[in-house]
Amino acid sequence: MAAKLDIANAPQNGAGETSALAEKHLVQPWPVAGSIGAEARGAIESGDGIYVVDGEGRRLIDGPAGMWCVNVGHRRAELAEVLHDQAMALSYNSPWYTTNQPSAALAERLAAHAPGDLSHVFYTTGGSSAVETALRFMQFLNNVRGRPEKKLIVSRQGGYHGSTYLSASLNGRPRDHDWMDSATDQVAKLACPNPFRRPAGQSEAEFCDRLVEEFRALIEERGPERIGAFIAEPIMASGGVIVPPEGYLRRMRTLCSEHDILFIADEVVTAFGRLGEVFASKAVFGLEPDMITFAKGVTSGYFPLGGVMISSRLLESLRQSNHSDAMFAHGLTYSSHPIGCAVALRNLDILEDGLLDHVKAISGYFQKRLKSLESLPLVGEVRGMGLMACIECVADRVSNNPLTLDLEVGKRIDRHCQELGLLVRPLINMCVMSPPLTISTAQIGDMVAILDASIRRAMDELV
Ligand code: PLP
């Protein structure tokens, strides 16, 4: 019999060794051609609560909670136990022919939290596959309904929806399409609803009017009979935590309803507590979408899982159609994974057992303390909601013009933050913060102090 693996006492690769092995054999996500398949990235060895420990043994606050996902924090014994127990009870079953208890129980609980008539869930392996599923479902629906031309997908500049072909085609951040192909014939993009970058002299309300008007004009120009879906992150996350103007999402929803265009809320980041709610669409923005995509925080990153909440009205319309034998030929080997769903159930317990309330209680303090960084001349704006925020640096505070890319100010701040004990997510001129939801006021204080010192160091370098 093989010896039991003793993870706690297992020999660790040295930090250098892990990075060197990765450099030799890994193609890392989002590489550039010049170092693809040969890039050294720092190793993270362990995690505990809001902290991770890097390969040199330094303890760092996990400012982005991994990738906006470690919502309940690292090293949760109760999640580790569920992973073990579910693997021992049932590690896998084919979702093609069978079902399992955790996925059904989780579906019931998600439906209870979801707005409107989003009573059903299709499970996927993450966010990209969730978005891809929602889009393919829209295509299937319109094919079955006898309107195969109603397929155009409307997304926004600045948005991010994934890395599979169709989901990636929706992305609208700088560099997303510079060297990558995309399904341009299937997608139309609207302006980014970023109040900070609205035209000079325009009020936020006027800016909102213009955005809604732009959508109305697009519907008129392309024809409502050609537009299948509008997809939006309620708050654009990796585009720079862009909180849209008040009323924007509801007004876009109204336009969608008027023209039978499906509204897909991409809540891969905003769900599972980031804004203090299980789903933010209705509770925070008064929005009832036709579908909600989710991933990340559903398992706090302990297991890859995502899904799409789907309106029962849409499902009923399929059941009532003239093509009852039309097949939604779409499914993933790991759809409804019992371990992922069991972890998600326990993760939901933790969120409901006080963590959502904690987020609601502490968000104001988090935003206020980060906002104080606007006193630094390099900082153009600090914005956010709940426990997600973005610090945007500018060339000068009068014009708010962006800094040139070559200055790599986000990376500079990140480097200084790491020296001082904080991981941040650098995005060109921005740093994004979305810590584990368990963060305390004292830890927020530490985070802001490190950011303040690091931005000052970056300013010294740039003069
Ligand atoms: N949608 C949003 C809003 C995201 O932020 C992301 C990932 O960051 C995705 C979709 C894609 O998720 P995944 O990386 O799990 O495929």
**Roughly what angle, to the nearest 10 degrees, separates helices 409-420 and 441-462?**
130
Please indicate whether residue 294, judged by its CB atom, sits closer than 6 Å to ligand 1: no
48 forms beta bridges with 51
- Can you tell me the mean pLDDT for 1-18? 55
Please indicate whether residue 162, judged by its CB atom, sits closer than 6 Å to ligand 1: yes
Nearest Cα to 295, choosing from 122, 423, 427?
122
Model-level pTM? 0.96
- Can you tell me the mean pLDDT for 447-460? 96
Query: Rounded to the nearest 10 degrees, how much is the dihedral formed by the CA atoms of 137, 143, 145, 151?
Result: 70
Position 148 pLDDT exceeds 90: yes
Angstrom distance (rounded) from CA 114 to CA 283: 10
pLDDT at 14: 64
Please indicate whether residue 295, judged by its CB atom, sits closer than 6 Å to ligand 1: yes
Mutation choice for ligand 1 from 296, 305, 388, CB with most ligand atoms inside 8 A: 296
Provide the token pair at 387: 């426990």
Nearest Cα to 167, choosing from 121, 130, 212, 118?
130
Please indicate whether residue 270, judged by its CB atom, sits closer than 6 Å to ligand 1: no
Bigger pLDDT: 141 or 8? 141
- Can you tell me the mean pLDDT for 58-68? 97
Q: Radius of gyration over alpha carbons of the chain, in Å?
A: 22
pLDDT at 425: 85
pLDDT at 7: 43
The average confidence (pLDDT) of the chain is 95
Mutation choice for ligand 1 from 161, 270, 279, CB with most ligand atoms inside 8 A: 161
Question: Which residue has the CA at smallest separation from atom 14 of ligand 1?
Answer: 127
- Can you tell me the mean pLDDT for 202-220? 98
| CA 199 to ligand 1 centroid distance, Å | 29
pLDDT at 15: 67
Query: Rounded to the nearest 10 degrees, how much is the dihedral formed by the CA atoms of 141, 142, 143, 148?
Result: -160
- Can you tell me the mean pLDDT for 254-278? 98
**Strand, helix or coil at 47?**
strand
Instruction: For residue range 89-118, list pLDDT tens digits in order.
Output: 999 999 999 999 999 999 999 999 999 999
The dihedral sign for the CA sequence 150, 323, 120, 81: negative
- The two beta strands, 291-294 and 306-310, are antiparallel
Range with the poorest average pLDDT among 202-211, 227-236, 418-427, 431-440 = 418-427
| CA 321 to ligand 1 centroid distance, Å | 33
| CA 456 to ligand 1 centroid distance, Å | 32
Position 449 pLDDT exceeds 90: yes
* Ligand 1 atom with the shortest distance to the CA of 296: 15
Question: Which residue has the CA at smallest separation from atom 1 of ligand 1?
Answer: 161
